[in-house]
Amino acid sequence: MTALSSPLNLPKWLEENSHLLKPPINNHLIYNDPLTVQIVGGPNARTDYHINETPEFFYQYKGRMLLKTVQEKNGSSEFIDIYINEGDLFLLPANIPHNPVRFEDTVGVVLELPRPETSVDRLRWYCRKCGEKVHEKSFYCTDLGTQLKEAVGQFQEDEKARTCGKCGEVNEAKPTKEMMEKMRTGPS
């Protein structure tokens, strides 16, 4: 029989461990079996869209976050913003490109299912000017925080990967302060 761990007191954990929530992803893995449970703080500094072959569950513990998504509607891709407010729960279906934008002084909890051995996670970047896919990185996820940070760093260092083949725009790996403020003050 497996020994049970003690319950985790989230306010106490944050008081003692918030220093572990570091950019660009700001996540810390709490449990990894049978579910992946992460505490994620803000602000984060990402422009990529994560594509996971399993659903993701979001609980916004403190503050408000923005989940930028790309959804298929009438045969074309549409960028749709979903604001998740303090206390809100949200279940994101599998295979939806999403960019979780977390603002200063916010905390959320994200639950994910274990990836099947055949599962491939993807990070995709879209052109901020024309919306075209600019770059994509695929990997089998073993450590989301480390692998995301590595992929974001590679994208940031590679101007060719950041350049849109359709319109020529050189895209950023991190949102600007102006972009973050515009997203933070979006619809309430």
User: In whole angstroms, what separates CA 138 from the centre of its chain?
Assistant: 15
Rounded Cα gap, residues 62 and 118, in angstroms: 35
46 among the known binding-site residues? yes
Tell me how many domains the chain contains.
Answer: 1
Rounded Cα gap, residues 128 and 87, in angstroms: 30
- Kindly state the percentage of the chain with pLDDT values over 90: 64
CB-based contacts of 14, cutoff 8 Å, min separation 6: 39, 107
- Token pair, residue 131, equals 């919306």
Asked if 81 contacts 2 with a C-beta cutoff of 8 angstroms, the reply is: no
Rounded Cα gap, residues 22 and 80, in angstroms: 27
Asked if 183 contacts 175 with a C-beta cutoff of 8 angstroms, the reply is: yes
102 among the known binding-site residues? yes
The answer to whether residue 1 sits within a structural domain is no
The answer to whether residue 5 sits within a structural domain is no
The answer to whether residue 7 sits within a structural domain is no
141 among the known binding-site residues? no
Angle ∠(113,144,148) on CA atoms, nearest 5: 140
Angle ∠(160,164,165) on CA atoms, nearest 5: 90
Range of the domain at 46: 18-184
122 among the known binding-site residues? no
Whats the size of the chain, residue-wise?
188
Q: What global pTM score does this model have?
A: 0.90
Mean pLDDT in residue range 11-40: 90
The answer to whether residue 9 sits within a structural domain is no
136 among the known binding-site residues? no
pLDDT higher than threshold 80 for residue 144: no
124 among the known binding-site residues? no
28 among the known binding-site residues? no
64 among the known binding-site residues? no
Check residue 16 and give its pLDDT: 97
**CATH code, domain carrying 114:** 2.60.120.10
Digit-coded pLDDT (tens) for 158-174: 999 999 999 999 999 88
Q: What are phi and psi of 166, to 5 degrees?
A: -90, -50
The answer to whether residue 10 sits within a structural domain is no
